[in-house]
Amino acid sequence: MLERIRGRFSHGGNQDRVYQKWLAENENRESSQVTKDIQGYELKPKISLIVTVFNTDPGSLNRCIESVRRQVYDNWELCLHDNASSRQETIDCLDRWGRQDDPRIIVALGEQNEDKSIRSNEAVRMAGGEYIGILGDNDELSPFALSEVVGLINERPGADLIYSDEDRIDAAGNRFDPWFKPDWSPELLMSVNYINRFYVVRREIGDRVGWYRPGYDGAQDYDLLLRIYLVSDKFFHIPRILYHSGTASRPARSTVAEKDNSSDDGLKAVTDFLDARGEQATAAAGAISTEYIVRYKVRGSPKVSIIVPFKDKVELLKNCIDRLLEKSSYPDYEVILISNNSREGETREYLESLNHPRVRLFTYDIPFNYSKINNWGAAQATGEYLLFLNNDTEVISPSWIEEMLGYAQRPEIGAVGAKLLFEDGTIQHGGVVLGIGGFADHIYAGARENSSTAFGRDTWTRNYLAVTAACLMVDRKKFEAVGGFDEEFVVCGSDVELCLRLYAAGYRNVYLAFVRLYHYEAQTRRAWVDQKDIECSIRHYAPFLQRGDPYYNENLSLAGTDGNTLRGLREN
């Protein structure tokens, strides 16, 4: 999977040199201090690591096993289950490890080649630990991996699944291509297996769902993770690189099977998950073979009120409204046009010519206040769902309303946002991250679509603390329950603050990468920020700025929006 979704920090380039510098400056913990921390833990559970083996390169397998033996936390066992390897070097390697004097290393040799799920479950049955860790046979762990896991278990004793950040490693021990992940993001997991490996499961939870099942050889971990989510949402993330995915080559049959099956098996896993939850939803393949698009069927046909404030700029307004009316396929929506201090004759002529049954025109000539105008527009709207839309946007896909509505109807979802593109096709909005630039900003801004970064890809549906109200849908009842937009904000920031209140009320906000619009940003009003907005932002964003955005990653810099700039690098 990693080869297909990442690659920005690959060998030899400038980004690789930056990453080596970051590793040197940020991975310098002392084992003695970690050992002292472990001594203070109340909970010191046994962690059983399972590794299934088939014709694995002995060098890779040795490095995998040695990485476990180097763990600072020592209450572990390693369960190695061979799937009837035909490669004698692999058998000899396992035999040597089985005869050495560490009772924590357990080796079992299978008599016949079986389905991957069967051999994985046999490895689980070998394990005696309270927690089961899943490790690949040519992959390696950081020396502090298990101590970090046990540290989190002591902080969060109810954790059912634990995962970490990761990178890749070659046979020479060179590390590259880091993947810095967000905290638990349910919508992201339905879009891609972002947890990947290494992950640790509470034994009781794995037993409850039956561990691995046949028929998902290309995506057995993904299927297991989704089925665990059916019974628990206690997923916790450690923002440290604890796992190094190996690059050693595998036998051709295994490689081809995994690559050919991963997309179909992953799609089947997501579809099964949706069916098990009783969802009226479909899953489809995404931009690459290991990512997926989930669309929820709209329940009923509720009215959607699209609220569009404007001041003159008739060429933008006409393009926005004409494309919206021409392309939108959803059957029940109204457009609430709110003129705020428009003065130009061309604007008046266009509005007089705009005789459409879906369009309702209002005038609200107050000193500009984005929040107040949109709250007033919401009060005029008759729809059950509110869609706030800038007048400098342009609809691309006919199904944009129903695709956003399918998510907005979900009881656990607050604000629903879309991918917005500049006129040249680069990304204007791919979600909002708190803390970037000192306040908040759009991740992936300026990047090309289908970009792979250390934070993942812009094509993934995922949760964020906030999305921009340049295109934002929300259930009217939820909007009203949290009090609408805060009218202390004059120009900008109230959309983020609204999303934070929705999040605080227990809702998840979501960015839909497959819903795309153009956004000719800031062409209606000049680019300025009111001092009052800065003061309001500092006050309302402060708690999140202090503890960090859970849907970002503390290892990524807040100085840029590219998802690649690393935090914690010292100046030369």
Domains of the chain listed by start with CATH number: 2-25+34-276 (3.90.550.10), 304-547 (3.90.550.10)
Neighbours of 361 (CB within 10 A): 13
How far is CA 392 from its chain centroid? 28
Contact residues for 56 (Cβ-Cβ < 8 A; gap 6+): 85, 87, 90, 93, 137, 138, 248, 250
* Per-residue pLDDT, 120: 95
Q: What is the mean pLDDT of residues 481-494?
A: 94
Of the two residues 572 and 49, the one the predictor is more confident about is 49
Residue 10 pLDDT class (50, 70, 90 cuts): low
Enter the tokens of residue 515: 């819903």
Q: What is the pLDDT of residues 78-129, one digit of tens each?
A: 999 999 999 999 999 999 999 998 999 999 998 888 888 999 999 999 999 9
Residue 45 has pLDDT above 90, yes or no: yes
DSSP 200-238: EEEHHHHHHHTS--TT-TTSHHHHHHHHHHHH---EEEE
Q: What is the mean pLDDT of residues 129-138?
A: 97
Contact residues for 474 (Cβ-Cβ < 8 A; gap 6+): 385, 386, 388, 408, 414, 415, 416, 502
Classify strands 427-429 and 76-82 as parallel, antiparallel or unpaired: unpaired
Question: Crossing angle of helices 31-39/145-155, nearest 10°?
Answer: 30
The whole-angstrom separation of Cα 138 and Cα 57 is 8
DSSP three-state, residue 37: helix
List, in sequence order, every beta strand (DSSP E) within 83-127. 105-109
Q: What is the mean pLDDT of residues 422-439?
A: 95
Burial letters 293-317, b for 16+ CB under 10 A, else e: bbbbebeeebebbbbbbbbbbbebb
- Identity of the amino acid at 188: L
CA-based nearest residue to 457, from 127, 76, 95, 7:
7
Instruction: Specify the range with the lowest mean pLDDT, choosing from 7-16, 308-317, 385-394.
Output: 7-16
* Per-residue pLDDT, 413: 99
* Per-residue pLDDT, 570: 81
CA atoms within a 13 Å half-sphere pointing along the CA-CB vector of 343: 1
Residue 548 has pLDDT above 70, yes or no: yes
Query: Tell me, what DSSP letter sits at residue 468?
Result: -
Say if CB 159 and CB 153 are below 8 A apart: yes
Say if CB 96 and CB 168 are below 8 A apart: no
Would you report the helix, strand and coil content of the chain in percent, each value rounded to 5? 35, 25, 40
HEC assignment per residue over 155-181:
HCCCCCEEEEEEEEECCCCCEEEEECC
Please, is 172 exposed, middle or buried when counting C-beta atoms within 10 Å of its C-beta (0-12, 13-18, 19+)?
Answer: exposed
Residue 74 has pLDDT above 80, yes or no: yes
Q: What is the pLDDT of residues 244-280, one digit of tens each?
A: 999 864 433 233 333 445 689 999 999 999 999 999 9
Enter the tokens of residue 81: 């289950």
Residue 154 has pLDDT above 50, yes or no: yes
Residue 1 has pLDDT above 90, yes or no: no
Say if CB 404 and CB 515 are below 8 A apart: yes
Say if CB 102 and CB 65 are below 8 A apart: no
Instruction: Quote the radius of gyration of the chain (alpha carbons, Å).
Output: 26
DSSP three-state, residue 451: coil
- Identity of the amino acid at 320: C
DSSP 475-500: EHHHHHHTTSS-TT-SSSSHHHHHHH
Q: Cα 285–508–6 angle (5° rounding)? A: 40
CA atoms within a 13 Å half-sphere pointing along the CA-CB vector of 129: 28
Residue 30 has pLDDT above 90, yes or no: no
The Cα-based distances of 538 to 182, 369, 532, 546 in angstroms read: 23, 19, 10, 11
* Per-residue pLDDT, 8: 54
Q: What is the pLDDT of residues 143-152, one digit of tens each?
A: 999 999 999 9
DSSP 371-426: HHHHHHHHHH---SEEEEE-TTEEE--TTHHHHHHHHHTSTTEEEEEEEEE-TTS-
The whole-angstrom separation of Cα 177 and Cα 246 is 11
Q: Which residue has the tokens 């833990």?
A: 41
Q: Which residue has the tokens 């190996």?
A: 246
Residue 527 pLDDT class (50, 70, 90 cuts): low
The whole-angstrom separation of Cα 74 and Cα 41 is 13
Say if CB 246 and CB 139 are below 8 A apart: yes
* Per-residue pLDDT, 144: 97
| Beta-bridge partners for 265 | none
